[in-house]
Chains A and B, each alone.
Chain A
Amino acid sequence: MNEAAIETHGLSKSYRDKAALRGLELNVPRGSIYGFLGRNGAGKTTTLKLLMGILRRDAGEMRIFGEAMDSEAAQVEARRRIGFVSEDKELYPFMTVGQMIRFTRSFFPGWRRDLEEKYLELFRLPLNRSVPKLSKGMRTQLMILLAMARGADLLVMDEPTSGLDPIMTEEVLQALADLAAGEGVTIFFSSHQLTEVEQICDHVCLIDDGQKVLDGVLDDLKSQYRRIVLVFDSAAPSALAGLKGIDHLRRAGRTASMLAHVDVESVVACTQEFAPLSVEVHPVTLKELFMDHVRGG
């Protein structure tokens, strides 16, 4: 029972003119709430579609709950345990809320009526309204309800809170936290809302240009990484780049800032040889980690 919920090795996918994913290594532990981050076009949606079997991969391995996804039959079997929320949150325009629920329910013998009713009421979704007449926020909530109520072991969601107002967002996050805590559901979602990711995720993975650039337990990343800010009497020396164990050095006039994540104290000690006027060590936020690993380097 220890196998990861999702595991990929060397996952690759190209479109006609572009390589969307170039060897992605992913390991999503069971029961985790996993945030999948990256700029637009980095390959997040492609990854999610590959996981669901909507796209076919060019190369690499993919396992869901330990089962290799090497045939359509395996994918269909995996989907019995997965709830999916797509990026554009589109459902059938010829159905009402109630019909969408009944339709989806028919595919999942493990459907949770109690969750269906709980979220119907919480999200205040009108049963008889047709899908095109729902606001984008309500469509998103309906899609999330359909994903959560099916008794899935894994939720795969593409920007689940985009387009939701702050109250709806909090309701959704609470529901996700409750699902993870109460049912042990693994939740894998991509997002641009870094504050939400910080709030609810225990693991994160950051991809850029089709490859993973950072991943790990969020608390550990935040406690391991430190920003070191140095101020000098004259222009910050370029020789700082030679320091071992630092990433993303930035020099601006008399100030230099860098990220360090291994043996911060010894790095700080090494900076002494450049005779800085002051040395400050700050914790980093997820936003800073994101910005530096994607833009900088």
Chain B
Amino acid sequence: MHLRVSFSSGVPIYVQLMEQIKHAVETGAVRAGEQLPTIRKVAEDLAMNPNTVARAYRELEREGAIEVRHGLGAFVADVETGAKTTVIAEAAESLRRAIATGAILGLSEPELRRVFEKELSRVTGDGSQAVSGAGGNRAGTKAGGSGERSSD
């Protein structure tokens, strides 16, 4: 598993590490049930703080993406239970950011709710899947046959 973090980006390092590990699971670099390198090994390889590595592992465990077996080490969680929890956690995170942005832009709670419901119905309505979630309350839909475009 090849891990890389940037120490001076604005994103907290433990978050970057979590993303890297989840990505490794997605691409199949590590599979369900396989053991992850020890905290000590990761800290040494990346020359980074072991507490930060520990934090990443703890958060991943909380999200259900990994399992820590006492005395044995950390293992990638079983796909079924793990994946769902991770997905849900990711979606929650995206929504949290979207809401925060909306608040900054000055939308009130009822206004936010209306926007959310509108976008939700747009997705479920025409059956398209790809909703780009990163940090916006803009939902883009894949232009399938319906000719719909992403709107502001």
Contact = CB atoms under 8 A, between A and B. Distances in A.
A and B: interacting chains: yes
A282 B40 CA distance: 32
Given A32-B51, A202-B52, A178 B10 contact: no
A201 interface: yes
A242 interface: no
A245 interface: no
Contacts of B39: 181
Interface of A: 31-33, 170, 173-174, 176-178, 180-182, 194-195, 198-202, 219, 222-223, 265, 268-269, 272, 279, 281-287
- Pick from A170, A194, A222, A286 the residue with the most CB of B within 10 Å: A222
Given A180-B50, A195-B8, A202-B52, 4 more contacts: A170-B47, A177-B46, A222-B12, A286-B8
Contacts of B44: 174, 177-178, 181
Interface string B14-39: 10000000000000000000000001
Interface stretch (B66-74, B80-88, B99-107, B144-152): B99-107
Interface of B: 7-14, 39-40, 43-53, 55, 100, 103-104, 106
Contacts of B47: 170, 173-174, 176-177, 199-200
A178 B46 CA distance: 10
Given A177-B43, A181-B43, A200 B11 contact: no
A204 B11 CA distance: 18
Contact of B13 (A194, A219, A269, A287): A219
A282 B10 contact: yes
